[in-house]
Chains A and B, each alone.
Chain A
Amino acid sequence: MLTKYFKSSKLRQENPIAGFFINAWLIFFAFVSIIPMIWLLVTPSKNDADVTNRHALSFGQFSGYKNAWDNLQFFDEGVIFRWLLNSIWYTVTIVIIATVTATLAGFALSASSIKFKKSILISTLITMLVPPMALVVPVFVLVDKLSLMDNPLAVIFVSSLYPFGVFLSYIYFTTTIPRELYEAGRIDGCNDFKLFTKIALPLSWPLVSLLAFFAFIGNWANYFLPYILLPSSVNYTLPIGLGFLFSATPAINPSVGATSVPIYKPEIALAGVLIALPIMIVFMISQKRLVRGMLSGSIKE
């Protein structure tokens, strides 16, 4: 305890002025970091006039949230609810398929000596590193040919390709489970499937939660792919719906004429909260996991 204190105050003793400024800067940047989120969270509590007239970070009333939600329901017969459900079920399905396929693939690559193992790993790394934008139009052409346009399954399957997860899972299994264990299992007559369920799976829960975490944050707010593959409003996800509201409301887009639908800044901000809040919560509860996961993508434990 004492040495810890000594170490932690070392710089302060060496150079108290620099220490003070660094500390002040770190705290200042923390405030800068949280202000946009606070703005987003308090905006739905106010009415549209107060968003401009009152202080940007002031709080209105709790009833403001209810009011904004009710107003959102006015839009296209409550389609927002549909968007929310879509977002949830697409994301949950993607997380499940991506996590399961990545766990299995990582295990297979690490446990058995398959032919083309090296080529598969290299293809995985390439797919992981190539920017997704270069693949969007090609994927669209394929989805169109498969007549899967405007079908949620297209977004779900395309997004379930999870090379980063496969790589993470491969590294995890090679570093946590010694190969000898599998060999012993094989001698005892286990096939690959049994090796997985008896040896690998019980040890893989930290990996599974890590994979699910990255799959969730990568897909919940995804815009480009669903925007292109799902043109009808009933199939929108929340992010696409938010984009649509943002560009269609006269409160933000001056060229749209006045409408009777009460969608103003507080309503749009509330739609933003529905997207951002789940990610923020997940980030905050799993920040340790995040750091460990990102680092293990490129190093040995």
Chain B
Amino acid sequence: MLAPYLLLLLIFGAIPVVMAILEVPHESRTNPDGGWDAFNIVLHDFRFLPAVRHVLGFMAIFVPLTIIFVIGMALMLDLKISRWKKYLRLAYIIPAAISGPVAVLVWYAILQPTISPFKGPLKFFHLTSNTQIWQTKNLVFIFALMAFFAVCGYWILIQYGSLQGISTEVIEAARVDGCSALQLAFRIKLPLIKKYIIYMGVLIFAGGLQLFVEPELLNKGAYQGIAEAWSLDQLSFELAFTTGDFGGAAALSLLLLFPSLLGALIVIFKTDMFEEAEVTSKKGEK
């Protein structure tokens, strides 16, 4: 019964990596002699460092912003002061339905002062023309904002759910001891859901690394040339499909794969996230 899954895992998980490794030394225009120099050539591509910088800048804004905001919102919802909690949660999940190219379309409109549904706020910040907004240097912020809205509601719901898992006795006991709402949040609730926060951090991080459709569509459509080979995904796409340099594209993928593999292994073996899976040994059983 494992066979169908194992087959998929082997063919589309393991074999591609092997093939990518074999593809690297192939001769190409950028690597005329072939060989493992392909790694070096990609690292010295003039677009490589800017793309790394863009992605890191994006992540540096998007990841902490999302985590802190989500935790704050979940804690506020958990205070149970709003009578419309149920409807609020329904509203928060809605932006998650706007993803991929639809998100590009919607954000194109939001950040276009002539048609924006947020004309008022844009005007307040003296943004009346799209040339003020759509500049290459602003893209890290724009993409961070897009990614933030696409995932934050989804995670607010999940972290709110994790807070519901805390037993009421614990909360009541803390209250009897005179805990204020803030102390309750920082001393009791957050430590108890620490595990889910790490879980969220890991998934937000892994998901955030993928930045393709946003820069690609804007670059090809509305604002041509604004994001040429802006992200690492675009660069590898560019290498493979525009230059036809599959060796270089494969080398770039592997350069991304190894740190991700290392990261995944650290998460699996050095945190207790997957303890129940009996993958790693439980504490005290060593």
Residues of A within 8 A of B (CB): 7-12, 14-15, 18-19, 22-23, 25-27, 29-31, 33-40, 43, 51-52, 56-57, 100-102, 104-105, 107-109, 114, 118, 120-127, 129-142, 145, 157-158, 160-163, 166-167, 170-171, 174-175, 192-193, 196, 221-224, 227-228, 239-240, 242-243, 246-248, 252-255, 265, 268-269, 272, 275-277, 279-280, 283-284, 287, 290-292, 294-295, 297-300
CB-contact partner of A27 in B12, B82, B117, under 8 A: B82
Q: Which residues of B contact A101 (CB under 8 A)?
A: 4-5, 8
11 contacts between A and B (CB under 8 A): A39-B117, A40-B105, A101-B5, A134-B260, A224-B213, A239-B100, A243-B101, A268-B105, A276-B97, A291-B158, A300-B276
Residues of B within 8 A of A (CB): 1-2, 4-6, 8-9, 11-17, 19-20, 23, 73, 76-77, 79-82, 84, 87-102, 104-106, 108-110, 114-119, 149, 153-154, 157-158, 160-162, 165, 175, 180-181, 195-196, 199, 202, 206-207, 209-210, 212-213, 216-217, 220-222, 224, 232-233, 236-237, 240-241, 246, 249-250, 252-254, 256-257, 260-261, 263-265, 267-268, 273-274, 276-279
B132: min CB distance to chain A, Å: 17
Kindly report which residue of chain B lies nearest to residue A22, judged by CB atoms: B76
Kindly report which residue of chain A lies nearest to residue B158, judged by CB atoms: A294
| CA A164 to CA B221, docked complex, whole Å | 34
A124: min CB distance to chain B, Å: 7
Query: From DSSP, what is the main secondary structure of chain B's interface residues?
Result: helix
> When the two chains form their complex, are residues A57 and B196 in contact, meaning their CB atoms are under 8 A apart?
no
Kindly report which residue of chain B lies nearest to residue A169, judged by CB atoms: B5
CB-contact partner of A221 in B100, B165, B181, under 8 A: B100
Query: From DSSP, what is the main secondary structure of chain A's interface residues?
Result: helix
Q: Which residues of A contact B1 (CB under 8 A)?
A: 104-105, 107-108, 192-193, 196
Kindly report which residue of chain B lies nearest to residue A7, judged by CB atoms: B80
| CA A15 to CA B79, docked complex, whole Å | 12
| CA A133 to CA B235, docked complex, whole Å | 12
Q: Which residues of B contact A129 (CB under 8 A)?
A: 202, 206, 260, 263-264, 267-268
> When the two chains form their complex, are residues A275 and B102 in contact, meaning their CB atoms are under 8 A apart?
yes
Kindly report which residue of chain B lies nearest to residue A166, judged by CB atoms: B5
> When the two chains form their complex, are residues B101 and A242 in contact, meaning their CB atoms are under 8 A apart?
yes
